Structure 1
């Protein structure tokens, strides 16, 4: 019984971290489908790895191309797609995000996901320019990136005050040489990057404002879990709480 409870708690925590992003993506997909007059869209997931979002999007009937540099992740994606019976709607391509125009073609995508990518690539601006090239006019981009302010708070409350101070003053928001994340962003920095690439920000949300902080027992209770999701959704649009979220989510429009 304890093992089953722990597994359920882990699953709930994972959902609490991603459910709001999924809700926002569903809305973006529905809006784009209505605007395009098509029920099936062409979606590109840059750095989509094992398909955490790609497979559910394919289950909605859309066609998804996942571009990732890791062959192991793409192999796992293909197995996952087969298990979900959506292999015919999933395409796996090995490559980097900056090469998107050569891999998928220009103005070929109705939606691009760029989740947890800009923190790790050598040139975030080049990646966003590549994304702009593959999106059709007025098509949306979903960006998810690590929030600079959140790591300062997380380090401080865990007692690593020196690392919190380092992250606070470091231009890239890093807490030290051992930090596995090359850079983190403020919302203004993300908006500036997107603007240079020709995007205009349509909406911005804070993701994981509370999900990483609440006691695990809360997610074992369905009512508590639902309440947490609603709290996350409400806080996501509040500037004060958005500034403390673990990740920032931006929906932007091409052109």
Structure 2
């Protein structure tokens, strides 16, 4: 994943970034404070953390990779937000060994659930890090996008394998340990105490369009970005998205 502020990279990140930015703006207005406390689990080199810090928020990044955290520190310094970005080594399962429970206005859990042993526990920990009415931004690999990609590449047996495999994997060489449907993600989030506000299909078309076309055809990038944004919230396209994004709000204690 690349910096969502760079044009070419925005094909992969634009939908999530715009949704997240709007959610943080709403949270700022509701809280009556200019700066929020944001936790980015598995935030790596700061692809989202640094742009969030540019908005004025305080961001804590938890990641198991020392190299990623070193790159995060350098990136934050180059962006002039080193005072608002803190990196700590850890993972979603041991989250409260390194951060405060219930201490954040928003939690980003992007590209994490695919790689953890227990996705339900991962979601519960992300939600437990939120303050009441805090915002959860969850991004995970989508099953349908992988099936479609393998089929379009002529790997029909692998496409069928992904479609029928409980983890959504197309074979031993598949680099992604687990994929999800929109229903699976919303169920995980709901059971963890989050009211789902919206589900978005991410990279519905971007991974299927030849890069040369986007790079050389005048206006193609902007047109494709607009198409991605238009399709993102339509349930019909969730089933073919490369990634799925769920945005929700932690329910108040006692709220069902």
Category of TM-score, reference length = shorter chain:
over 0.9
1:103-153 Cα offsets, whole Å, 9 max, x none, are 221211010000010000111111111112110111110000000111111
Q: Tell me, yes or no, if the aligned pair for 1:132 and 1:254 is still in contact at 8 Å.
A: yes
Distance across 2 between alignment mates of 1:81 and 1:219: 29
Aligned-pair CA distance for 1:13: 3.8
Distance across 2 between alignment mates of 1:185 and 1:79: 33
- Name the stretch that deviates more: 152-161 or 218-227: 218-227
Q: Which runs of 4+ in 1 moved over 4 A?
A: none
Q: Report the equivalent of 1:187.
A: 182
Q: Report the equivalent of 2:193.
A: 198
2:244 paired residue among 222, 229, 248? 248
Q: Report the equivalent of 1:8.
A: none
1:158 paired residue among 150, 153, 158? 153
Aligned-pair CA distance for 1:50: 0.3
- Name the stretch that deviates more: 22-31 or 93-102: 93-102
- Say if 2:60 is the partner of 1:65: yes
Q: Which runs of 5+ in 2 are unaligned?
A: 1-5, 252-256
Q: What value does the CA root-mean-square deviation take over the aligned residues? A: 1.2
Q: Report the equivalent of 2:43.
A: 48
Aligned-pair CA distance for 1:198: 1.1
Distance across 1 between alignment mates of 2:163 and 2:195: 28
Q: Report the equivalent of 1:7.
A: none
Q: Report the equivalent of 2:3.
A: none
Q: Report the equivalent of 2:126.
A: 131
Q: Report the equivalent of 1:233.
A: 229
- Name the stretch that deviates more: 141-150 or 209-218: 209-218
Distance across 1 between alignment mates of 2:218 and 2:108: 30
Distance across 2 between alignment mates of 1:32 and 1:226: 28
Aligned residues: 245
Aligned-pair CA distance for 1:12: 4.2
- Say if 2:166 is the partner of 1:171: yes
- Say if 2:29 is the partner of 1:28: no
State the TM-score, normalized to the length of structure 1: 0.93
1:64-87 Cα offsets, whole Å, 9 max, x none, are 000000000000100101111111
2:100 paired residue among 87, 96, 105? 105
Q: Tell me, yes or no, if the aligned pair for 2:149 and 2:208 is still in contact at 8 Å.
A: no
Aligned-pair CA distance for 1:220: 4.0
